[in-house]
Amino acid sequence: MSAITDATTSAAAPTNSNPAVAIPNTLTANDFLQILVAEFQNQDPTSPTDPTQYASQMVEFSNLGQLQDIDQILQGENNPQASLMQAASAYIGRQVVAAGNTIGVENGKATSIEYAPTSTDTYTANVYDSNGNLVDSVSLGQVSGGSLQNFSWSPSSSIAPGLYKVKIVNSSNVALSGLLEQGTVNSVAMASDGSVSLNIGNLVISAAQVASVAQPTTSN
Per-residue pLDDT tens over the stretch 26-63: 555 566 667 766 766 677 666 666 555 555 555 555 55
Are 149 and 143 spatial neighbours (Cβ–Cβ below 8 Å)?
yes
Sign of CA dihedral 126, 127, 133, 134: negative
d(CA 29, CA 62): 8
* Mean pLDDT for the chain overall: 77
Question: What gap in Å lies between CA 213 and CA 196, rounded to an integer?
Answer: 15
SS3 187: strand
Phi, psi (rounded to 5 degrees) for 187: -160, 165
* Measured distance between the N- and C-terminal CA atoms of the chain, rounded to whole angstroms: 59
Say what percent of the chain tops pLDDT 90. 40
Alpha-helical segments (H) within 76-176? 80-88
pLDDT over 80 at 219, yes or no: no
* Lowest-confidence pick of 81-90, 169-178, 198-207: 81-90
* Predicted pLDDT of residue 141: 95
CA angle 52, 60, 67 (to 5 degrees): 165
- Residue 84, pLDDT > 60, answer yes
How many helices (H) and strands (E) are present in the chain, helices listed first?
A: 4, 13
Backbone angles phi, psi at 146, to 5 degrees: 80, 0
Domain boundaries 92-214, corresponding CATH code: 2.60.40.4070
Q: Domain locations in the chain?
A: 2-14+25-78, 92-214
Share above pLDDT 70 across residues of the chain, in percent, rounded to a whole number? 60
Local confidence band at 211 (pLDDT 50, 70, 90 cut-offs): confident
- Provide the pLDDT confidence category of residue 193 given band limits of 50, 70 and 90: confident
Query: Residue 113 has what pLDDT?
Result: 96
- pLDDT given for residue 166 in this prediction: 97
Q: What are phi and psi of 98, to 5 degrees?
A: -145, 155
Phi, psi values for residue 2, rounded to 5°: -65, -35
Neighbouring residues of 136: CB distance < 8 A, sequence distance ≥ 6: 126, 127, 153, 155, 156, 159
Of the candidates 159, 166, 175, 187, which has an alpha carbon nearest to the alpha carbon of residue 103? 166
Per-residue pLDDT, 13: 46
Distance from C-alpha of 72 to C-alpha of 197, rounded to nearest angstrom = 25
